Amino acid sequence: YFFFIQDILAANGLIPFLHHLWCWAIVDVQLLNVILLPLTTLTAKHRKGCVSVCSTVLPSANSFVVQTPDQQRPLSNLLSYVLRLITKATLSSVVNNSTSSKNQTIEIAFDIIQNCSTEIEGRSIVYKSNFYQIFIDHFERVSRDINRYDRRFLDVIINITFFNDGQTSILKNAEMFAILIRIAHSSSSSVLQRQALLILRNLAFSSTHKARIVSESKYVPTIMSHVVSKTSDTAYIGLTALWALIVDAQKGKVAVRSSNVLPALFDVKTQQRNKENLLCYHAVSNVIQILTED
């Protein structure tokens, strides 16, 4: 029933109507939030809704769109406008003022971007935007306090890296790749570590970029730090990352072997067997089997 309602809304001009209201919404935060909320609902696990947000073109009314000085280039779809809400300046102002009504705007904007990133139309718009640079700027400091938007950025990247084009886009960006490894390895938040680990696991499934992955010297040690952890959940994610990296991939297998991980993997196998954790036990057994094959 919910999806039926989404279909009706997507097919009956809701998106163009909201698009026409945008020029007023960007100067009225409350109106902006009212517009963004139905977009969140419309794009939730709904391809038609996502595509409509990504493809709706404002007609000749482009001349009436109010633009700030940094918005000189006309944007032709609603998702591009939503992405424009995520900037270094707005993130900083909201973090410094947690009571600001703009906080809700940023949260909803992330919801829409996360929803649309499951569709190629949405990911293509993200690639063409400066979202990745905003991500880098957000995480660029090695020593920094964790804030509410760390998780939201990583949620979007998790969705993007479920797809081959998304994996490629991340691996071509050396700064982002390095930041993700750093978060997975040394973030003080176990939640952020797990999110970054999921992304690194997704990247390992890229059939065309395994050489790029293993060329990063910190990748395998970071994965192994979670494999040998006491948390079965992160250990399993790390093991699936290793498996994805080495299965049917000679370069990956050689790189992991050269990291001298087998002794640690045998220890993990014994520990998981003693815990009767069959999921991790079979996962580590599969990795060991592949690594010890001729």
The full set of domain ranges for the chain reads: 1-129
Binned at pLDDT 50, 70 and 90, residue 130 comes out as: very high
User: Is residue 219 scored above 90 in pLDDT?
Assistant: yes
Q: Model confidence at 154, in pLDDT bands (50, 70, 90)? A: very high
**pLDDT tens, position by position, 58-114:** 544 444 444 444 444 445 789 999 999 998 777 776 655 655 677 889 999 999 999
13-36 tens-digit pLDDT:
777 788 888 888 888 888 999 999
**Can you give the pLDDT at residue 94?**
62
Mean pLDDT for the stretch of residues 205-225: 93
Evaluate if residue 11 carries a pLDDT over 70: no
Query: In the prediction, which pLDDT does 199 show?
Result: 98
Tokens 């969140």 label which residue? 40
Nearest CA among 85, 208, 207, 210 for reference residue 149: 85
To which residue do tokens 């900037």 refer?
87
pLDDT of the residue at 14: 77
Please tell me the least confidently modeled range out of 5-14, 64-73, 113-122, 223-232: 64-73
Model confidence at 242: pLDDT above 80: yes
Q: How many residues in the chain?
A: 294
- Grade residue 6 by pLDDT with cuts at 50, 70 and 90: low
Q: Which residues of 93-130 are buried (b: 16+ CB within 10 A; e: fewer)?
A: ebbeeeeeebbbbbbbbbbbbbbbbbbebbbebbeebe
What value does the mean pLDDT take over residues 254-269? 92
CA distance 283 to 242: 10
Rounded CA gap, 254 and 288, in Å? 13
Angle, CA of 265, 195 and 272, to the nearest 5°: 25
Residue 178's nearest CA partner among 156, 203, 159, 155 is 203
Choice between 245 and 41, residue whose per-residue pLDDT is larger: 245
Q: How confident is the model at residue 56 (pLDDT cuts 50, 70, 90)?
A: low
% of residues, the chain, pLDDT over 90: 59
Q: What is the pLDDT of residue 12?
A: 63
Average pLDDT, the chain: 86
